[in-house]
Amino acid sequence: MTQPIIQFDKVVKRFGDVTVLNQLDFNVQRGEKVTIIGPSGCGKSTVLRILMTLEGIDSGVIHVAGKPLWHQYRNGSLAPADEDHLREMRKEMGMVFQQFNLFPHMTVRRNVTEAPIHVLGLSRDEANERAEHYLDLVGLSDQADKFPRQLSGGQQQRVAIARALAMKPNIMLFDEPTSALDPELVGEVLNVIQRLAGEHDLTMLLVTHEMQFAKQISDRVCFFHAGRVLEEGPPEQVLTDPRESRTREFLKAFIHPA
Amino acid sequence: MLLGIEWNTANDWAFALSILPILLKGLVVTVQATVVGFGIAAVLGLVLAALKASPLRLISWPARIVTEFIRDTPLLAQLFFLYYVLPEYGIVLPAFLTGALALGLQYSAYTSEVYRAGIESVARGQTDAARALDLSALRTFRVIILPQAIPRIIPALGNYLVSIMKDVPVLSVVSVLEMLNVAKIIGDRTFNYLIPLSMVGGLYLIMTLFASAGVRYLDMRLPKQGLPLR
């Protein structure tokens, strides 16, 4: 196998006294679709937030696309990364948030074109064309002139996906993308994500509680517990026939919620 | 006679009518000082707020100390300092400018706190999303944070606008001919304080009511989600 596109080496992350990631080793191959499951507080969202450089790490090293994420080489040794390096590394990734986090004062089109114009340096026409393409992909090309509040939650999340894709990232991070949605709106968002999963080159990292969906789209499912990967493997195995008792308990609570 | 206008002391009504143009000249100065002072406070406050928000202590701490110092010393002391001490170092400003500057400085400390609160009220997810899209810190502040913070800031800024207007009479101690000072001089010369001072009170009331109504109108008109960016 080639070098992983994402590589966590003994990564530690603490919030105050709480150790969220405990010497985490975790790899993702290029093009792989990986789902992270686990109880709340197990560090699964933190993994995505650290990758997106929204949270720093306390120790360990992360490599993304062969380059250290939170470090850079200075005089041959690893030193903490500066903002320029982080900005460069962020180009590899796009992120979709639980709360959508669309910019409420911008139209849908402006939400999608803002970063391509002002980060990638596209002309307004090029950016609009690109926005059209990705809004079409998520089935919302007719909503470009609306403001986010005029859309349903499901539509807002699809715009957020288009916004992230418009930066053409190699890695897409989905942080519980359907958890804030009304049940009847979950399907339309999952459909879009499923279509993306068909793209061979796109690496996807998904944190979700939609077990059925995880089974359909993932190459691999990782069960996080106490800041480490407790169990991982093909979705059929982890989700239906887990080896670890903790995984079984977690999944049981999901199928038969108390 | 004051400011080239004679007064008529025949009776109270004639007197009131004759000094109104003089008071209005003072009112113009009051409005000018308010506008210039508020302009300084609005811009400098934003700068101070941005500096205080800096992750670098070397930048945020001096800004904090300056804010605290300005807030915790009397406006009058600052005014005297600017008016009497600066000229010793070769900086001579006209009385009006010195006064407006003192007002602006004092209120920039207050407005910077308003800006800070407004900026912090913008949801954390907005900066997360901007960072995930790799927008620069400056652009994030300018087109993501500020347009959403401003509608929440307007009411508080409006209160300070009214406050500044009411603090303008302090400038009379450095001989600025603002409205209250004019009224006092008229009183000194005619031994009738009741009428000019009452008129100043009435004119102030009209001005502040207008200013408050204007702020309320703005507050109602501004979209709560932020200033729309097409």
pLDDT of B53-101, one tens digit each? 887 889 999 999 999 999 999 999 999 999 999 889 988 889 999 999 9
B145 touches chain A (CB under 8 A): no
Pure H helices in A37-171:
44-51, 83-90, 108-118, 124-137, 153-165
SS3 of residue A23 by DSSP: strand
Which pLDDT score is estimated for A84?
92
Looking at per-residue confidence, does A2 or B222 come out higher? B222
Query: What's the CA gap between B179 and B27, in Å, rounded?
Result: 5
- Interchain contact, B228 vs A106, CB within 8 Å: yes
**ipTM given for this complex:** 0.91
How many C-alpha atoms does A155 have within 13 Å on its Cβ side? 15
Compute the CA torsion angle A112, A178, B132, A47 (nearest 10 deg). Answer: -160
pLDDT averaged over every residue in chain A:
93
- Interchain contact, B223 vs A164, CB within 8 Å: no
Over residues A122-145, the pLDDT tens digits come to 999 999 999 999 999 999 999 999
The residue of chain B nearest to residue A146, with distances taken between CA atoms, is B230
Q: Which of A8-12, A90-94, B223-227 has the lowest mean pLDDT?
A: B223-227
A61 close to A68: Cβ distance less than 8 angstroms: yes
Q: Which of A 159-218 lie inside 8 A of B, CB atoms?
A: 160, 163-164, 167
B220 touches chain A (CB under 8 A): no
Q: Residues of B with CB below 8 A from A102's CB?
A: 129
**Of the spans A249-253, B184-188, B223-227, which averages the highest pLDDT?**
B184-188
Over residues B6-53, the pLDDT tens digits come to 888 889 999 999 999 999 999 999 999 999 999 999 999 999 998 888
Question: Which DSSP string corresponds to A120-152?
Answer: S---HHHHHHHHHHHHHHTT-GGGTTS-GGGS-
Query: What's the CA gap between A185 and B30, in Å, rounded?
Result: 58
Over residues A187-242, the pLDDT tens digits come to 999 999 999 999 889 999 999 999 999 999 999 999 999 899 999 999 999 999 99
Chain Cα centroid distance, residue A119? 20
- Interchain contact, B133 vs A115, CB within 8 Å: yes
How many C-alpha atoms does B39 have within 13 Å on its Cβ side? 9
pLDDT band at A256 (very low <50, low <70, confident <90, very high): low
Q: Which residue has the tokens 């932020």?
A: B226
- Extents of the domains making up chain A: 99-168
Q: Which of B 174-213 lie inside 8 A of A, CB atoms?
A: none
Phi, then psi, of A25 in degrees rounded to 5: -110, 130
Quick check: B185 pLDDT over 50?
Answer: yes
- Interchain contact, A54 vs B132, CB within 8 Å: yes
pLDDT band at A258 (very low <50, low <70, confident <90, very high): very low
Q: CA separation (Å) from A7 to A78, A167, A191, B43, B184? A: 16, 22, 28, 46, 78
Tell me whether residue A201 is exposed, middle or buried, using C-beta atoms within 10 angstroms of its C-beta: 0 to 12, 13 to 18, 19 or more: exposed
B106 close to B75: Cβ distance less than 8 angstroms: yes
Domains and CATH numbers, chain B: 12-221 (1.10.3720.10)
SS3 of residue A56 by DSSP: coil
Q: Residues of B with CB below 8 A from A147's CB?
A: 225, 228
A27 touches chain B (CB under 8 A): no
The residue of chain B nearest to residue A149, with distances taken between CA atoms, is B225
Quick check: A94 pLDDT over 50?
Answer: yes
Phi, then psi, of A31 in degrees rounded to 5: 85, -5
Q: Of B119, B178, B111, B163, nearest to B145 (Cα)?
A: B119
Quick check: A26 pLDDT over 70?
Answer: yes
Amino acid at B63: A
Mutate to test the interface with A, among B122, B133, B146, B222 (most CBs of A within 10 A): B133
The residue of chain A nearest to residue B145, with distances taken between CA atoms, is A103
pLDDT band at B181 (very low <50, low <70, confident <90, very high): very high
The residue of chain B nearest to residue A119, with distances taken between CA atoms, is B135
Which pLDDT score is estimated for B140?
93
Burial profile A153-190: b = 16 or more Cβ within 10 angstroms, e = fewer: bbbbbbbbbbbbbbbebbbbbbbbbbeebeeebbebbb
Q: Which residue has the tokens 């942080």?
A: A175
> Nearest CA of chain B to the CA of A23: how many Å?
25
Neighbouring residues of A128: CB distance < 8 A, sequence distance ≥ 6? A109, A113
Over residues A37-91, the pLDDT tens digits come to 998 878 899 999 999 999 999 999 999 999 999 999 888 888 899 999 999 999 9
pLDDT band at A257 (very low <50, low <70, confident <90, very high): low
Query: What's the CA gap between B52 and B40, in Å, rounded?
Result: 18
A111 close to A159: Cβ distance less than 8 angstroms: yes
Region A148-162: what's the mean pLDDT? Answer: 96
Which of A83, A104, A160 is nearest residue B225 as measured by Cβ atoms?
A: A104
SS3 of residue A169 by DSSP: coil
